[in-house]
Amino acid sequence: MQNDIIKTSDEIALIKRAVQIIDDCYDAVLETVKGGMSEKELADFIEDFVKRHGGEGLSFDTIVAYGAGGAEPHHVPTDAKLESGMLVTIDMGAVYGGYCSDFTRTFAYGRVDEKQREVYDVVYRAQKLGVAATRAGISCHDLDAVCRNYISEKGYGDKFIHTTGHGVGKLIHEAPRVGKGDETVLENGMVITIEPGIYLPGELGVRIEDTLVVGEGALSRIPTELIILPE
Ligand SMILES: [Mn+2]
């Protein structure tokens, strides 16, 4: 069956490989990124890494967003240069064997202020709750509410401006939609993302995203705790 919402073990194996390539890429990003490097340069590095490490290509145009750029969920990389005190959001995916991965982390460069740390902590906890709640039997609507209600309780409900996640397979965005009103009930073998975010226009943004197999959990080995990368 084409694009079945429940993936076969062969399909899941390909998605796991696509996740591994991106995990390795993120390690390389953290080793490579330096003050003065532009968003575009970092996005080019990511594309090159994926292609040199077995990926057929990117699942979608990589998002690299520094500082206030991170407040745009679909930020397109610019010539903006990395400076100490900025948050960096990277949203990227690889294609392997025709299957996609989807991954986002936000890290701090040099130092963090209290506001950045507070917003990060809310997204971190919301994402952790969403990952923990991902299991057979929960509806997509209810899973979205797990992340959304927590962020709302913390006062940022109106700053979480997209759905909690989506299905992943041959396409980067497939059914189900992990959002309000989607009554799809999760079953083992579905592959979805959990990717809450908070966006403060003109200021900063934080998003944390994992690709998960329902019944197995998050596939990435990259921790979600805040990393403060030394200058
Ligand atoms: Mn995604």
Please state the domain extents for the chain.
Answer: 9-229
pLDDT band at 1 (very low <50, low <70, confident <90, very high): very low
Residue 168 Cα to ligand 1 middle (Å): 8
User: What is the whole-number distance in angstroms between the Cα of residue 26 and the centre of ligand 1?
Assistant: 16
* Among the four given CATH numbers 3.40.140.10, 3.40.50.800, 3.40.1050.10, 3.90.230.10, the one describing domain 9-229: 3.90.230.10
Q: How far is the CA of 23 from the centre of ligand 1 (A)?
A: 15
Do residues 101 and 50 make contact, with C-beta atoms less than 8 angstroms apart?
no
Q: How far is the CA of 208 from the centre of ligand 1 (A)?
A: 10
**How do residues 91-126 score in pLDDT, each as one tens digit?**
999 999 999 999 999 999 999 999 999 999 999 999
Find the 141 Cα to ligand 1 centroid distance in Å.
17
- Which pLDDT band holds residue 160 (cuts at 50, 70, 90)? very high
87 band by pLDDT with thresholds 50, 70 and 90: very high
Average pLDDT score, the chain: 97
Q: Residue 160 C-alpha to ligand 1 middle, in angstroms?
A: 14
Distance 153 CA to ligand 1 centre (A): 24
Q: How far is the CA of 169 from the centre of ligand 1 (A)?
A: 12
State the pTM of this model.
0.97
What percent of the chain lies above the pLDDT cut of 90?
99
CB under 5 Å of ion ligand 1: residues:
102, 193
CA of 69 to the centre of ligand 1 (A): 18
pLDDT at 3: 64
228 Cα: distance to centroid of ligand 1 (angstroms): 23
Cα(143) to centroid of ligand 1, in Å? 15
